[in-house]
Structure 1
Amino acid sequence: MEFDISWILLGLPLAFVLGWLASRFDLRQLRAENRRAPKAYFKGLNFLLNEQQDQAIDAFIEAVQNDPDTSELHFALGNLFRRRGEYDRAVRVHEHLLSRGDLSRSDRERAQHALALDFLKAGLLDRAEAALNQLEGTPFEGQARLALLAIYERSRDWPHAAGIAHKMHDARQGDFSTRQAHYLCEQAQTCIARDDNAGALALLNQAVDTAPEAARARIDLARLQQRMGDSGAALGTLQALSRHSPAAVPLATPLMVETAIAAGKVPEMQALLQAHYAQAPSLDVLEGLVALQALDATTADTARQWYVQHLDKELSLVAAAKWLVGEKLEHEEFHPQVQRALDHAALPLTRYRCAACGFEARQHFWQCPGCQTWDSYPARRVEEL
């Protein structure tokens, strides 16, 4: 049988036409899909700008389905889920990203950081800690360390918090010496609760060496020394406090009075408080001066004159109410009612207020219970701010 070359001549054009048609079909389909993906993306962006998060999520899901390889859409979708509080869905999105083998290193680190934030927002602190630890040596290292610091503070894991603060301090991410001193003071309080005064003393001395300007370390150290019966050492610590942290003297004034009486150094402490009061009048220092002067029988009757002198410098309802306690009124029978009214009105003025969030409390806190900020409470009362 002879081979007819005419079939080849007829088949080649036919194959060419079929191939061309197939390619055109694929191109049309690809263009249609590409048109759908950007359209869904921009639709989602429009919804997002109009704060219509439900519709934005639906549009982004459609865009991801049309183009599952687009990592940016996954990041946008995961962030939206997190903002809405749908942390399980955000975790799935970011874990899906991390499971992809074609993800670039920068996108992988970004996805790891996003996953850690998902766990953190969901309150899964153990999983958040593990995810954040994997960000060491990445561009997200600084943010991860700050988040770890917040986790350890929240769980009161002071040794780990101190380790992170030490790393950040060494990496010049800020001055964390005062924060480290706080952590040592917290550990010392734990030792005191276990009656381990020696361990607490060592920690507090270390805190003073770590941050010489930190007021808390010296106040806690003096309180422990006084508790251990070493009034002389406690007095020396408080005198050092007045030199290194004069703004904190009002906080330490009650302890100063107690220590001076125990050590028999009332005149010396009275002179120190008078010098401080002359530079920065304070209600707490005023109370200390009144208490010390009242100890001397020859000056006890005039101790309350400090309140009047304070009123010459500051218009203080608190000082006026305290002065009125020992006064005899023309209608003395009404004194109790008037005194109760003044004390009630003055009570809110004796609180401390956080400078970061405005949270008010009757006692001074080194870390605000409201916003968790350290050293945000001034040593002065609300009336003095």
Structure 2
Amino acid sequence: MEFDLSWLLIGVPLVFGLGWLASKLDARQWKREQRDAPRAYFKGLNLLLNEQQDKAIDAFIEAVQADPDTSELHFALGNLFRRRGEYERAVRVHQHLLSRGDLPKAERDRAQYALAQDFFKAGLFDRAESAYEALKGTAFDHDAALALLSLYERSREWAKAARISEQLEEAGTASFAGRIANYWCELALEAHAHQDETAARRWLDQARDRAPQSARAYVLLGQMLAHQGDQAGAQAIYGELLKANPDAFNLVARDYAQAAQAIGTTGQALALLEAQYRRHPSMALLQAIALLEPAPEAQRKRLAEHLRVEPALSAATQLLQQSQSRQQPLNEDEAQLVGTALQRAVRPLQRYRCAACGFESQHYFWQCPGCLSWDSYPPRHVEEL
């Protein structure tokens, strides 16, 4: 049987034509999918910008289904779930990314960081800690360290927070001396709660050495010594605080005066307090001075002088109380000083406050300039609400 070459002439073009048609159909389908995926993505982005998060999630899910290999869509969807507080769904999205074997290392590290954020926001601190620690040596090393620092502060793991702070400081991020000193103060309080005064003292000494101008260690150590009955030691520590951080001395001025009374160094303490008051007048110093020199006439004179320098409401109140208790009315000068202090104190209260957003103004607005709400201002000043 002879082979008919005419069939070959017919068959070859036919096969070629069918192949060409199939390739065109596949290309058209691929283009349609590529066109639909960006369209769904941009639709989700538009909805997100319009704060329609529920519809945006649906659009991103549609985009992910159309193009499951695009990691950016997964990141967008996972981050949106996290912002919505749907942490379990965010975790699933980022874990799915990590399970992909074809994911580049940079994208894998990014997914690991996103997963750690999911755990952190969900309050799963143990899992978040492990996820952040897995990022050491990656491009997210620094961000992970800062996140771990925040995590340890929230979970009150002060020793770990101090260690991370020291690592960040060694890496040249910034000076963490003040924060480290506060962490050690927290450890001192924990030791004090367990009646381990030796450990508490050691932590406070370390804190003072680490951050000499940080006031907290001085305050805690002085209070601890006073509680133990060592008033002389407490007074000495408060004196060190005055040299290291004069402004912070206001926090312990009264304690300093009480310690001086207990050990009989009233004259020396009074001279120190008066000198500090002349440099930096404050009500805390004035009250400490009054504790050491309680003569009513001297107190009244000091309050009037303080009102000339600083028209504080607390000083005006004390002057009025003294006048009433001794049944001696204010003289013209004192009355004027008290009036000035009252005017200053009442000024912030003579404002209108928006009930919708809290925006305050001296003028009454029919439409709030803060939130643009209409008729949201009560027709009363803040002091009358």
Q: Quickly name the TM-score band, shorter chain normalised.
A: 0.7 to 0.9
Query: Match of 2:311, as an amino acid?
Result: L
Q: 1:302 aligns with which of 298, 303, 311?
A: 298
Query: Which moves more between the two structures, 6-15 or 131-140?
Result: 6-15
Shift of 1:232: 2.8
Match of 1:179 in 2: 179
Deviations 1:15-58 (A, max 9, x none): 21221111111111111111211221222122122222222211
Match of 2:188 in 1: 188
Match of 2:98 in 1: 98
Q: Do the aligned partners of residues 251 and 150 (structure 1) sit closer, same or farther apart at CA in structure 2, a change above 3 Å counting?
A: same
Match of 2:17 in 1: 17
Looking at structure 1, the residues matched to 282 and 175 of structure 2 have their Cα atoms a distance apart, in angstroms, of: 30
Q: 1:321 aligns with which of 310, 317, 320?
A: 317
Residue pairs, 1:302-381, within 5 angstroms: 302-327=298-323, 328-329=326-327
Match of 1:133 in 2: 133
Deviations 1:274-302 (A, max 9, x none): 111111111111100111112xxxx5652
Query: Contact 1:212/1:244 (CA < 8 Å) preserved in 2?
Result: yes
Q: Give the 3-state SS of the residue equivalent to 2:293 in structure 1.
A: helix
Q: Give the 3-state SS of the residue equivalent to 1:200 in structure 2.
A: helix
How many residues of Structure 1 are paired with residues of Structure 2 in the alignment? 333
Q: Do the aligned partners of residues 202 and 184 (structure 1) sit closer, same or farther apart at CA in structure 2, a change above 3 Å counting?
A: same
Report the TM-score when normalising by structure 1: 0.81
Q: Give the 3-state SS of the residue equivalent to 2:136 in structure 1.
A: coil
Query: Match of 1:38, as an amino acid?
Result: P
Looking at structure 1, the residues matched to 224 and 44 of structure 2 have their Cα atoms a distance apart, in angstroms, of: 61
Matched, 1:239 2:235: no
Query: Contact 1:290/1:304 (CA < 8 Å) preserved in 2?
Result: no
Deviations 1:243-280 (A, max 9, x none): 11011011011221122223322222212211111111
Looking at structure 1, the residues matched to 266 and 141 of structure 2 have their Cα atoms a distance apart, in angstroms, of: 53
Shift of 1:3: 4.7
Looking at structure 2, the residues matched to 301 and 52 of structure 1 have their Cα atoms a distance apart, in angstroms, of: 68
Deviations 1:64-122 (A, max 9, x none): 11111111111111111111111111111111111111111221111111111111222
Looking at structure 1, the residues matched to 34 and 187 of structure 2 have their Cα atoms a distance apart, in angstroms, of: 60
Query: Match of 1:322, as an amino acid?
Result: Q
Looking at structure 2, the residues matched to 330 and 273 of structure 1 have their Cα atoms a distance apart, in angstroms, of: 28
Query: Contact 1:40/1:60 (CA < 8 Å) preserved in 2?
Result: yes
Looking at structure 1, the residues matched to 215 and 328 of structure 2 have their Cα atoms a distance apart, in angstroms, of: 46
Q: Percent of aligned pairs with the same residue?
A: 51
Q: Give the 3-state SS of the residue equivalent to 1:186 in structure 2.
A: helix
Match of 1:254 in 2: 254
Shift of 1:323: 2.8
Shift of 1:202: 1.0
Match of 1:265 in 2: 265
Looking at structure 2, the residues matched to 172 and 224 of structure 1 have their Cα atoms a distance apart, in angstroms, of: 35
Per chain length, whose mean CA-contact separation is higher, i.e. which structure has more relative contact order (CA < 8 Å, sep 6+)?
A: 1
Looking at structure 2, the residues matched to 263 and 106 of structure 1 have their Cα atoms a distance apart, in angstroms, of: 66
Match of 2:109 in 1: 109
Query: Which moves more between the two structures, 227-236 or 146-155?
Result: 227-236
Q: Do the aligned partners of residues 317 and 42 (structure 1) sit closer, same or farther apart at CA in structure 2, a change above 3 Å counting?
A: closer
Shift of 1:326: 3.4
Q: Do the aligned partners of residues 262 and 182 (structure 1) sit closer, same or farther apart at CA in structure 2, a change above 3 Å counting?
A: same
Query: Match of 2:309, as an amino acid?
Result: K
Match of 2:49 in 1: 49
RMSD: 2.4
Looking at structure 1, the residues matched to 22 and 196 of structure 2 have their Cα atoms a distance apart, in angstroms, of: 84
Report the TM-score when normalising by structure 2: 0.81
Q: Which runs of 5+ in 2 are unaligned?
A: 330-340, 349-385
Q: Give the 3-state SS of the residue equivalent to 1:251 in structure 2.
A: helix
Shift of 1:6: 4.5
